[in-house]
C-alpha cells in the first residue's frame, strides 16, 4: 500500500534542492513543500561563478534556475535565511535555528558542500577569498583589475577556472599546488600535464609540490606568501581553492550512515527510509563517493524526488563534469581511469583533443575531451551500450567517431 505523504521538507536550495522541488510539483505532489535555505538567494546554479560572473559578464540574477513565476507556482513554504540545526528521525521533525519545527513525512537533505579552508585564521584576512556564492564572486571580481597580482592556493578545477578568468582580466597569477600535479583526484597524469602546460602558456606561474604556504599582511595592503620563512611574493588577493567539505553534519547527527558523504541507494534513500539525500552531500550509489557536479546534483535529486512519491527511477548516471578555461571547454565523462586502462589520444586540429581510456575489453571507461562536446555525447552512448571500440580508428582524426555508433 502506498504511504500517504502530505508534508515534504527539503533542506538546501541549491541545484539539488531546486530540482527536487520542481520535480515533486511536476509529479503532482500537492501537499506542503517546505524548503529551508541558509542563503537568501535560492534555486541558483554555481558553475558560472568562477567563469562569467567573476569575469563580470553575467549578473547573479541570470543564475536562477527557474523563472520567478515558475518558482511562485511551486507554492513553497519558504524558510530563509534559516539553518536547519537538528533532525529527529523518530518523530519526523526538523528544527531550525530560529526555533521553528517542521514536521515531515519525507525529508530530503540537499545541503551540498562548502569551500574548504585548511588554515582557519586565513578566513579573518580580508584579502583571502573562496568562490562559492555570487557575493564571493562579486567581491573577488572587484579585486581583479589589470596589473594586480593574484595567488591561488590549490590546483583543482575551481582554482584553474579562477586562474583563467583572472588572466583574461590582465591579472598576474601564481598558482600553488601541494601535490605533484593538477586535478590529481579526477584525472590521470597526462591530463594534469596538459592542464599545467595550458596555464603556463597563458602566463600563469604554476608551482607544484609547493610545500606549506604561510600568509601575512604585506606593506602594500596585500598579503605576503611565505614558505619556510622565505618570502615568495606579495599578492593583492589570495584565492583558496582547496576542495570542498561535504555538509554531512545534519545527517550524521541524526544517525544516518555516512561515508565520504551520506550513504544513499540508487533512489537517493539514506539509511532512514523517510530521509533522502542528493547532490554534493550524497555519495554516488554505484561509485561510493561524492561526485560534486552540476549534472549529478540535478539528476540525483530528480530521481530522489520521484522515489519520495513512490516512483522508481533509479539514478545510475555516469559522472559528467565540465570546466571552461580560456578557449577550452573541458568535459570529463566516467570515473577516473584505472591503471589497467589503455589510453587513446585523439587530436583533431589545434583545438580539439581527447584522452580516451579503454578497459581491457576495449570498452570505454572514461574520457576527457577538450572542445569536443559531440565526442562526449557519443561517449555517453558508448558507455551505456558497452560498445567495443577500435582504438586505432578512435585515434585517427580522419575517422568520424559517428561511424563508431553503438
Ligand atoms: C565556483 C564553482 C564552480 C563550479 N563549476 C562547475 C562546473 O563547471 N561544472 C560542474 O559540473 N560543476 C561545477 N560546480 C559544482 C556544482 O556547482 C555543485 O556540484 C552543485 O552546486 C551542487 O549542488 P547541491 O545542491 O548539491 O549543493 P550546493 O550548491 O552546495 O547547495 C546546498 C545549499 O544548502 C545550504 N545548506 C547547507 N546546510 C544547510 C542547513 N543546515 N540549513 C539550511 N541550508 C543549508 C547551502 O548553504 C547551500 O545553499 C561548481 C561549483 C562551484 C562552487
Determine the distance separating the centroid of ligand 1 and the alpha carbon of 112, expressed in angstroms: 5
DSSP reduced 3-state for 191: helix
Task: Note whether residue 17 is domain-resident.
Answer: yes
In this prediction, residue 220 carries a pLDDT of: 82
Does residue 131 line the site of ligand 1, with CB under 6 A? Answer: yes
Based on the fold, state whether residues 106 and 134 are members of the same structural domain: no
- Domain span at residue 300? 7-114+244-308
Q: Is 270 in the pocket of ligand 1 (CB under 6 A)?
A: no
326 Cβ inside 6 Å of ligand 1: no
In ligand 1, the atom with minimum distance to the C-alpha of 42 is 49
Point out the ligand 1 atom lying closest to the alpha carbon of residue 279.
Answer: 26
Confidence of residue 2 (pLDDT cuts 50, 70, 90): low
In a domain, 318, yes or no: no
Residues 6+ apart with CB under 8 A from 335: 287, 318, 319, 365, 366
Query: Rg of the chain over CA atoms, in angstroms?
Result: 22
Look at residue 406 in the predicted model and tell me its pLDDT: 67
What is the average pLDDT value for the chain, to the nearest integer?
A: 96
The rounded percent of the chain whose pLDDT value lies above 70 is: 99
The whole-number average pLDDT for the span 37-50 is 98
Any ligand 1 atom below 6 A from CB of 240: no
**What is the CATH classification number for the domain harbouring 234?**
3.50.50.60
Strands 364-370, 172-176: pairing kind: unpaired
Range 256-279 average pLDDT:
98
CA distances from 380 to 55, 182, 203, 344, 377 (A): 31, 25, 34, 17, 5
Would you state the pLDDT for residue 175? 98
Say whether both 110 and 143 belong to one domain: no
Q: Is the domain of 199 the same as that of 279?
A: no
Cα→Cα distances 127→139, 148, 180, 217, 218, Å:
10, 12, 27, 9, 11
Residue closest via CA to ligand 1's atom 27 equals 112
Mean pLDDT of 390-400: 95
Question: Tens digits of per-residue pLDDT, 136-182?
Answer: 999 999 999 999 999 999 999 999 999 999 999 999 999 999 999 99
Q: Any bridge partners for residue 367, and if so which?
A: 333, 356
In a mutational test of the pocket of ligand 1, which residue from 9, 11, 15, 323 has the highest number of ligand atoms less than 8 Å from its CB?
15
Q: How far apart are CA 354 and CA 376, in angstroms?
A: 9
**Residue 321 alpha carbon, nearest atom of ligand 1:** 11
Same domain for 122 and 236, yes or no, is yes
Integer Cα distance of 117 and 130 in angstroms: 8
Closest to 264 (Cα-Cα) out of 254, 276, 252: 276
Question: Residue 1 domain-assigned?
Answer: no
In a shared domain, residues 124 and 229: yes
Question: Which H helix or E strand runs over 61?
Answer: none
Residue 166 lies in a domain: yes
Angle at 319 between CA 33 and CA 59, to 5 degrees: 60
Q: Tell whether ligand 1 has an atom less than 6 A from the beta carbon of residue 49.
A: yes
Specify whether 121 is located in the same domain as 54.
Answer: no
313 in any annotated domain: no
Residue 317, in any domain of the structure: no
Q: What is the mean pLDDT of residues 223-238?
A: 96
- Residues contacting residue 179 through CB under 8 Å, at least 6 positions apart: 155, 208, 209
Under the banding of pLDDT at 50, 70 and 90, the label for residue 376 is very high
Q: Are 244 and 115 contacting, i.e. CB atoms less than 8 angstroms apart?
A: yes
Distance 193 CA to ligand 1 centre (A): 28
The best mutation among 140, 291, 292 to test binding of ligand 1, ranked by most ligand atoms within 8 Å of the C-beta, falls on 292
Residues 125 and 218 in one domain: yes
**How many domains, the chain?**
3
What is the rounded distance in angstroms from the CA atom of residue 74 to the CA atom of residue 67? 11
Atom of ligand 1 nearest to the CA of 13: 33
Q: Are residues 299 and 188 in the same domain?
A: no
Task: Tell me: do 281 and 337 sit in the same domain.
Answer: no
- Asked whether 12 and 111 are in contact (CB, 8 A), the reply is yes
* Strand, coil or helix: 347: strand
Quick check: is 344 in a domain? yes
Evaluate: CB of 298 within 6 angstroms of ligand 1. Answer: no
Domain assignment of residue 348, yes or no = yes
- For residue 106, the tally of other CB atoms under 10 A from its CB is 26
Average pLDDT over residues 26-51: 98
Tens of pLDDT, residues 55-71? 999 999 999 999 999 99
Residue 1 has pLDDT above 60, yes or no: no
Which of 54, 297, 298, 330 for mutating ligand 1's site (highest number of atoms within 8 Å of CB)?
297
pLDDT tens digits for range 73-127: 999 999 999 999 999 999 999 999 999 999 999 999 999 999 999 999 999 999 9
Say if CB 44 and CB 64 are below 8 A apart.
Answer: yes
Residues 248 and 110 in one domain: yes
Q: Is residue 26 domain-shared with residue 136, that is, in the same domain?
A: no
Which residue has the least CA distance to atom 33 on ligand 1?
12
pLDDT on residue 30:
97
- Distance, in Å, from the CA atom of 391 to the CA atom of 406, rounded to the nearest integer, reads 15
Q: How confident is the model at residue 128 (pLDDT cuts 50, 70, 90)?
A: very high
Q: Which atom of ligand 1 approaches the CA of 15 most closely?
A: 25
Ligand 1 atom closest to the CA of 282, numbered from 1:
26
d(CA 190, CA 154): 19
Other Cβ atoms closer than 10 A to 213? 18
In this structure, the answer to whether residues 68 and 85 fall within a common structural domain is yes
Amino acid at each position: 500500500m502506498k504511504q500517504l505523504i502530505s508534508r515534504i521538507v527539503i533542506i538546501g536550495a541549491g541545484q539539488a534542492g531546486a530540482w527536487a522541488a520542481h520535480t515533486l510539483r511536476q509529479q503532482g505532489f500537492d501537499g506542503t513543500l517546505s524548503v529551508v535555505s541558509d542563503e537568501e538567494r535560492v534555486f541558483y546554479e554555481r558553475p558560472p561563478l568562477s567563469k562569467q560572473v567573476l569575469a563580470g559578464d553575467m549578473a547573479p540574477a541570470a543564475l536562477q534556475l527557474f523563472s520567478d513565476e515558475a518558482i511562485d507556482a511551486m507554492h513553497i513554504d519558504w524558510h530563509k535565511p534559516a539553518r536547519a540545526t537538528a533532525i529527529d528521525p523518530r518523530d519526523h521533525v526538523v528544527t531550525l535555528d530560529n526555533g521553528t519545527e517542521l514536521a515531515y513525512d519525507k525529508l530530503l537533505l540537499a545541503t551540498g558542500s562548502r569551500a574548504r579552508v585548511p588554515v582557519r585564521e586565513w578566513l579573518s584576512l580580508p584579502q583571502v577569498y573562496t568562490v562559492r556564492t555570487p557575493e564571493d564572486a562579486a567581491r573577488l571580481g572587484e579585486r581583479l583589475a589589470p596589473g594586480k597580482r593574484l595567488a591561488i592556493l590549490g590546483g583543482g578545477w575551481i582554482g584553474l577556472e579562477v586562474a583563467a578568468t583572472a588572466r583574461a582580466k590582465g591579472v598576474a597569477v601564481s598558482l600553488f599546488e601541494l601535490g605533484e600535479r593538477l586535478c590529481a583526484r579526477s584525472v590521470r597524469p597526462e591530463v594534469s600535464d596538459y592542464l599545467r602546460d595550458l596555464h603556463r602558456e597563458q602566463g600563469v606561474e604554476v608551482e607544484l609540490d609547493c610545500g606549506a604556504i604561510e600568509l601575512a599582511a604585506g606593506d602594500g595592503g596585500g598579503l605576503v606568501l611565505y614558505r619556510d620563512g622565505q618570502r615568495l611574493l606579495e599578492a593583492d588577493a589570495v584565492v583558496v581553492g582547496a576542495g570542498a567539505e561535504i555538509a554531512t553534519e545534519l545527517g550524521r547527527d541524526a544517525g544516518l550512515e555516512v561515508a565520504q558523504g551520506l550513504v544513499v541507494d540508487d533512489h537517493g534513500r539514506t539509511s532512514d527510509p523517510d530521509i533522502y539525500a542528493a547532490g554534493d552531500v550524497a555519495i554516488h550509489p554505484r561509485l561510493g563517493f561524492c561526485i560534486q557536479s552540476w549534472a549529478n546534483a540535478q539528476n540525483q535529486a530528480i530521481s530522489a524526488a520521484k522515489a519520495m512519491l513512490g516512483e522508481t527511477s533509479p539514478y545510475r548516471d555516469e559522472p559528467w563534469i565540465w570546466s571552461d578555461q580560456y578557449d577550452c571547454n573541458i568535459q570529463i565523462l566516467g570515473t577516473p581511469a584505472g591503471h589497467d586502462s589503455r589510453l587513446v589520444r585523439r587530436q583533431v586540429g589545434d583545438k580539439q583533443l581527447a584522452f580516451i581510456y579503454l578497459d581491457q575489453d576495449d570498452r570505454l571507461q572514461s574520457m576527457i575531451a577538450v572542445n569536443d562536446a559531440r565526442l562526449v555525447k557519443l561517449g555517453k552512448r558508448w558507455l551505456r551500450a558497452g560498445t567495443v571500440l577500435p582504438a586505432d580508428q578512435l585515434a585517427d582524426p580522419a575517422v568520424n567517431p559517428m561511424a563508431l555508433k553503438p
